[in-house]
Structure formats: C-alpha cells, structure tokens
Amino acid sequence: MEDHFGEAVAVRYDERYESLASPDVVSPIVDFLAGVAGEGPALELGIGTGRIALPLAARGVAVRGIDLSEAMVERLRAKPGGAELEVTIGDFARTRVEGSFSLVYLVANTIMNLTTQDEQVACFQNAADHLGEGGCFVIEVLVPGLQRLPVGERYQPFDVSSTHLGFDEIDVVTQRLTSHHFWIDDGKVQVFSPPFRYAWPSELDLMARLAGMSLRERWSGWKREPFTGESGKHVSVWEKPRTSA
C-alpha cells in the first residue's frame, strides 16, 4: 500500500486545508458523529492530522484511529490532546485494532484512497468487524461528477485560483480518478496527484451488505440535508444488526 501523504504533503496539509478545519465545517460533523457514537468508543479510518478526531475526543467520545502516514500522525500527536489518542499505523482496509466500537467513520472522500473494488470491499468488512452489534459505519464521500463530464472528456477542473489549480482526471471504464493538484507558492509549483477510485452510493450499499450491514441514513450533508439527484456528496450511515432481540 503506497503512502501518498508523506512528509512533503503532511508538512503543508493543515495550512492548505485550513478552511476544512473551521468551526463552521467541523462542528456539524462532530455533532453528527457524537450523536451516532453515543457511549462510544469511535474509530476513525484515515485519522490524518486529527481535524475531526481531536474535537470529537474533546466532546467526550473515546476515539482511536488508523492511518498509513507516520508524517500525518506526527502532526496529530503534536496538537493539544493528540498524544493521548491511540493511533495504529497501517492500511485501514485490513488493519485490526483492539476493541469493539459503536462508530467507525471515514470522512473527506478517504474511502476513495482505496483504488480497487477489492480494497474498498475489504474496508467495509474491516469496519463491520470492528463494530459491536447496532454499531454504525459512517462515510462522507462525493457523488461521482459524471453528469458534468461531456462524452469523451477525461478532465474536470475543481479549483482554479492564483495559488492552486486542481483537475480531476476521470476514467469511466475503471472508475479510477486522479486528482491533479498544482500548488503555486512563491513562484514555485508543487505537484500532488493522488490516485482514487470513485463509487456510486448504490455500490457502497452493496459493499455494506456484503459485510452484513444495511443503510440506516443517507444525507447530502452533516446537518442532515436531504440527499437528491443534484447532491454532490453524501453522508451515509450503515448499521450492523443486533443478533438478539
């Protein structure tokens, strides 16, 4: 498993995605996750620099995490409360941590970092294996933007500014997507092109079903906005059934 979030990315990650760490963005996510977690504990797959895990832990939910990148986790550990969070370095599709969780969650399109269907299926199974009965797996991920892709076109701009150019390169046959980022800093350009695999909500529902879970809720945002044909992303909650009445 290749680590695309090494030192060169981690050193600038919080600065570049500062807007995603604002209270306006983070508070509804933490409210939603704390509500689903109940008594906890919660497990974040792809915990990164702790954007969500740290405020969720500050809310009183015991949080643990898995991440592939030592460099990202080093940033988390340096933040207030970060040293107390238990993080396992490994691939979240297969890495097992001790315990049974009421919530496993995966935000910010991170399921797409798994670039094959097999890996995504394994991730759903791994999430289910970590959940206790009645526990939930929550994912925040984009809806593939194919309605905006003309026939025969592969490239789609998602951000164009004086400091950042971002283009998705989409392969509609393999469902592979490469996000090409060109960050412009003091006249220097830094290129970051991580590979992804996109999946429709229905395909994710089937992965959940293969892992013994079923869809409980689907929204277009963390404030439980309705999910419609025009939604650009979804927040989905799959539940592991209780075996006894």
Ligand X SMILES: C[S@@+](CC[C@H](N)C(=O)[O-])C[C@H]1O[C@@H](n2cnc3c(N)ncnc32)[C@H](O)[C@@H]1O
Q: Which of 33, 42, 43, 107 binds ligand X (CB under 6 A)?
A: 107
- Should residue 206 be labelled a site residue for ligand X when binding is judged by CB under 6 A? no
- Should residue 92 be labelled a site residue for ligand X when binding is judged by CB under 6 A? yes
Smaller CB separation from ligand X, 102 or 120:
120
- For residues 58 and 23, what is the distance between their CA atoms, to the nearest angstrom? 14
- Should residue 55 be labelled a site residue for ligand X when binding is judged by CB under 6 A? no
- The CB-of-165 to ligand X minimum distance in angstroms stands at 19
Stretch that binds ligand X, among 102-110, 153-161, 216-224, 231-239 (CB under 6 A): 102-110
- Should residue 108 be labelled a site residue for ligand X when binding is judged by CB under 6 A? yes
- The CB-of-80 to ligand X minimum distance in angstroms stands at 16
- State the DSSP code for 36: H
Listed in sequence order, the residues at least 6 apart from 145 whose beta carbon sits closer than 8 Å to its beta carbon are 156, 168, 170, 232
Smaller CB separation from ligand X, 63 or 131:
63
Backbone angles phi, psi at 44, to 5 degrees: -100, 125
Question: For residue 132, which of 102, 98, 93 has the smallest C-alpha distance?
Answer: 102
- Should residue 91 be labelled a site residue for ligand X when binding is judged by CB under 6 A? yes
Q: What sign does the CA torsion over 101, 69, 163, 22 have?
A: positive
Amino acid at 3: D
Site string for ligand X, 62-81 (x = CB under 6 A): ----xxxx--x---------
- Should residue 5 be labelled a site residue for ligand X when binding is judged by CB under 6 A? yes
- The CB-of-113 to ligand X minimum distance in angstroms stands at 4
- For residues 237 and 218, what is the distance between their CA atoms, to the nearest angstrom? 6
Of all residues in this chain, which one has the CB nearest to ligand X in the complex? 48
For 101-135, b/e burial (b = at least 16 CB within 10 A) is bbbbbbbbbbbbbbbeeebbbbbbbbbbebbeeeb
Question: For residue 232, which of 109, 113, 137 has the smallest C-alpha distance?
Answer: 109
- Should residue 110 be labelled a site residue for ligand X when binding is judged by CB under 6 A? yes
Q: Which of 30, 51, 112, 199 binds ligand X (CB under 6 A)?
A: 51
Q: Give the interface with ligand X as residue ranges (CB under 6 A).
A: 1, 5, 46-48, 51-52, 66-69, 72, 91-93, 107-108, 110, 113-114
